[in-house]
Structure 1
Amino acid sequence: MLGQVIDWKLAGTVARGVANLQPAGNPGPFEQLAGPAAEAERLVSAYTGLVPAQPVPVAEAIERPGWIDANLASLGTVLEPTTQRIGGKLGPLGVVAGGVMAIEAGAISGFLAGRVLGQYEFPVLEPDRPARLLFVTPNLAQAAEALEAPADQLLRWVALHEMTHALQFGGVPWLREHLAGMLRELLDALQMNPGSLLRVPDVTDLKKLVERLREDGLATVMIGEDKRETLDRVQAFMAVLEGYAEHVMDAVGADVLDDLPALRSALQRRRRDRSGLLKLLERLIGMDLKLRQYELGKEFCDAVVAQAGIDGLNRVWISPETMPAWSELSDPSGWLNRTQPVEPAF
């Protein structure tokens, strides 16, 4: 068995250091999760019709180190096979590259560890492995204080979002394997030219790279234009997952939360109110894309439900072929026409 290319112990050390730089709140009010989780499962299942084949994971209250451990473990299942494949071409430079990747993975994980409120987490490339339902209590507490939101209201709202993901993946049998297949396709496209590591880029190279990052984001630059179609499918898939959860947390929350509009407005401000440096970091790691996924996906789901109800939106779960393409996210009526059930002929 090949040894690990990435120094995950170093990644964990970096992640904890970065996470500790961000403000945290008192986790106490957010550690009792059984009630909000049970309520969320009942309400989301009743609204969507999604029923898990197996019991959903027990909600876990964790702190930032626990989330970092879970995130880095998942990253390892994604990155190690690819880095081992590429690392053989790098020779001695592979050790240096592995250290650099450890620092990068740690820095990104540490940054996210101070932001994530809840997460339905599973090893993406191992669809048969069990999932976890995580709530990062110091972040929930800090967000409640920053948003001036009642702790119980915020927790119930976040629970609706994460439980929706749990029911999506637990109730749609092909979903995890389909996501794993798309990700494998993208990872197989990753290439690294050893010679490029030894050449100092000139100003023109850097300018072109910055322009591509600004226009397309890091994912497209790393994957390449020839895999743009696959990347678009992944992005559309993620937009539907997030948009569906955003739609559900509002549709269900309207009946059980005291002031949903205020919560929604505060959350939108939290997502957008970033300093210049943090905006740049989010751009480089794809967080800006995730924000667009929330917005575009929710707009699509809201529009579909307005036209055809939740049953119409649930066509996305019929098969991979009924998932909207990236272009269809801005054309919900066109997608509804394409996926209209065929009437049986007599």
Structure 2
Amino acid sequence: MSGGGTASLTDAVDWPLAARAGAVLAPAGPTAGAAELREHVEALRASAHRAVPHVADVTRMRFADGAGPARVLVVDRAGWVRANARSMQTLLRSVPAGHVARGPATSDDDDPVAAVVGGLEIGGTLAMLSTKVLGQLEPFGDEPTLLLVAPNVLRVQRQLGLDADDFRLWVCLHEQTHALQFGAAPWLVDHLRSRVGALLGEVAGTAAAVGEGSALARTRAAADLVRRFVRQPAGTPLAERLLTPDQREQMAQVAAVMSLLEGHADVMMDVVGPKVVPSVRAIRKAFDARRATPRGTDLVLRKVLGMDAKIAQYVDGAAFVRGVRRRAGTTALNVVWDGPQNLPTPREISDPAAWLRRVHG
């Protein structure tokens, strides 16, 4: 294309290639006999269903009319990659196409090459992440789907020497809490989709500015991106270094919601107590120690992919949930699911009392 125009962010990536490359690059995971693997998969699936009433009991939440438990899929790492490639493509369709302006120097021949490069980059990143995820709720598809990554659950259970049945149920309690969050608050999917879409659109517009206009304009735009990158404090995730102040604020708002979701699930998976998961305290102790002391490739991946920020979401969100429950109880906390106006702000995530004053007076 030789004269400007617009494109969707989905056009920048060869998504089938991303799914295929990521699936091929994803390591297979721990080895086991066929009978043991079948038993593990079936036990995971059964644990996912067992978790549903326990989550409803401890959260005191209910599915909204027309909603129900998520579909459960037990997958390998390649399956997780393929599912997330589809999810990312779906989410990026919400980004306004006008944000992704093609510069006048772009040719039709450049687009397929760029899409292939994008597909390989996305596929490689998903392959790396596929070794770390135990479970995931995918809320953006045609129906909510709970993905349980069988080899990863088995690997962590073996590494930490945990009771297999207890650990499988513990993981499922976390993921089914996510399913209930979105099932009890159907507005949450569109809220997140619009917020993330707006942020991605803004970032895409900033990046497109580098490829538009005169050589001087492109140089100035690139220099501005570099200045923002180097001025960020040490430890700032790579994804945040190129954001403008307004974009960082938008990201902070999204992060606050994610902190609530992750922290709420992290607390509730422990609240069930030893009557449901007999070794829950031992599991939590071992799991927190693992999070706190990454080693080898785990440490490298956390730095490259910004996973420290993800872990911080669990910690900050759990502190918020515990703070509200301690001060006002579970019923007061559950008002957070009534509408987007009740979601905690970035400041309130670290100040539960401020959220209580604003929402409950």
Q: TM-score surpassing 0.5?
A: yes
| Residue of structure 1 equivalent to 2:287 | 267
Q: Distance in 2 between matches of 1:254 and 1:288?
A: 29
Q: Distance in 1 between matches of 2:269 and 2:222?
A: 49
Match of 1:291 among 308, 311, 335: 311
Q: Which moved more, 1:248-257 or 1:205-214?
A: 205-214
Alignment partner of 1:24 is 2:30: yes
Whether the aligned pair in 2 keeps the contact of 1:5 and 1:83 (CA below 8 Å) is no
Alignment partner of 1:116 is 2:133: yes
Across the aligned residues of Structure 1 and Structure 2, the Cα RMSD in angstroms comes to 3.1
Q: Distance in 2 between matches of 1:240 and 1:100?
A: 35
1:316 is displaced (CA, Å) by 1.1
Alignment partner of 1:88 is 2:102: yes
| Residue of structure 1 equivalent to 2:155 | 142
Q: Distance in 2 between matches of 1:7 and 1:186?
A: 22
Q: Distance in 2 between matches of 1:216 and 1:95?
A: 33
Q: Distance in 1 between matches of 2:335 and 2:345?
A: 13
Q: Which moved more, 1:235-244 or 1:3-12?
A: 3-12
Q: Distance in 2 between matches of 1:282 and 1:213?
A: 17
Compared with structure 1, are the counterparts of its residues 204 and 51 closer, same or farther at alpha carbon in structure 2 (3 Å cutoff)?
Answer: closer
Whether the aligned pair in 1 keeps the contact of 2:102 and 2:211 (CA below 8 Å) is no
| Residue of structure 1 equivalent to 2:183 | 170
| Residue of structure 1 equivalent to 2:60 | 49
Compared with structure 1, are the counterparts of its residues 222 and 164 closer, same or farther at alpha carbon in structure 2 (3 Å cutoff)?
Answer: same
| Residue of structure 2 equivalent to 1:228 | 248
Q: Give the counterpart letter for 1:91 in structure 2.
A: T
Compared with structure 1, are the counterparts of its residues 121 and 312 closer, same or farther at alpha carbon in structure 2 (3 Å cutoff)?
Answer: same
Q: Give the counterpart letter for 2:312 in structure 1.
A: R
- CA deviations on 1:277-311 (whole Å, 9 max, x unpaired) are 64354344332111000011011111211121111
Compared with structure 1, are the counterparts of its residues 241 and 304 closer, same or farther at alpha carbon in structure 2 (3 Å cutoff)?
Answer: same
**Scaled by the length of structure 2, what TM-score is found?**
0.82
Whether the aligned pair in 2 keeps the contact of 1:242 and 1:298 (CA below 8 Å) is yes
Whether the aligned pair in 1 keeps the contact of 2:263 and 2:315 (CA below 8 Å) is yes
1:175 is displaced (CA, Å) by 1.1
Q: Give the counterpart letter for 2:102 in structure 1.
A: G
Whether the aligned pair in 2 keeps the contact of 1:213 and 1:284 (CA below 8 Å) is no
Whether the aligned pair in 2 keeps the contact of 1:161 and 1:246 (CA below 8 Å) is yes
User: Which structure 1 segments of 5+ residues have no match?
Assistant: 342-346
SS of 1:256's equivalent?
Answer: coil
- CA deviations on 1:220-267 (whole Å, 9 max, x unpaired) are 334422223221110100000000000100101443112212111222
| Residue of structure 1 equivalent to 2:302 | 282
| Residue of structure 1 equivalent to 2:91 | 78
Alignment partner of 1:209 is 2:226: no
| Residue of structure 1 equivalent to 2:22 | 15
Q: Give the counterpart letter for 1:301 in structure 2.
A: V
Identity %: 32
Whether the aligned pair in 2 keeps the contact of 1:12 and 1:106 (CA below 8 Å) is yes
Compared with structure 1, are the counterparts of its residues 206 and 23 closer, same or farther at alpha carbon in structure 2 (3 Å cutoff)?
Answer: farther
Q: Distance in 1 between matches of 2:222 and 2:102?
A: 27
Q: Give the counterpart letter for 1:236 in structure 2.
A: A
- CA deviations on 1:23-74 (whole Å, 9 max, x unpaired) are 4344334212453223211011122122223221232211111111100001
1:143 is displaced (CA, Å) by 1.0
SS of 1:234's equivalent?
Answer: helix
**Scaled by the length of structure 1, what TM-score is found?**
0.86
Whether the aligned pair in 1 keeps the contact of 2:173 and 2:268 (CA below 8 Å) is yes
1:84 is displaced (CA, Å) by 6.4
SS of 2:275's equivalent?
Answer: helix
Match of 1:188 among 197, 201, 216: 201
Match of 2:71 among 51, 58, 68: 58
SS of 1:31's equivalent?
Answer: helix
Q: Distance in 1 between matches of 2:337 and 2:272?
A: 20
SS of 2:12's equivalent?
Answer: coil
Whether the aligned pair in 2 keeps the contact of 1:283 and 1:289 (CA below 8 Å) is no
Q: Give the counterpart letter for 1:120 in structure 2.
A: L
Q: Distance in 2 between matches of 1:273 and 1:187?
A: 32
SS of 1:60's equivalent?
Answer: strand
Q: Give the counterpart letter for 2:13 in structure 1.
A: I
Q: Give the counterpart letter for 1:170 in structure 2.
A: G
Whether the aligned pair in 1 keeps the contact of 2:94 and 2:197 (CA below 8 Å) is no
1:202 is displaced (CA, Å) by 11
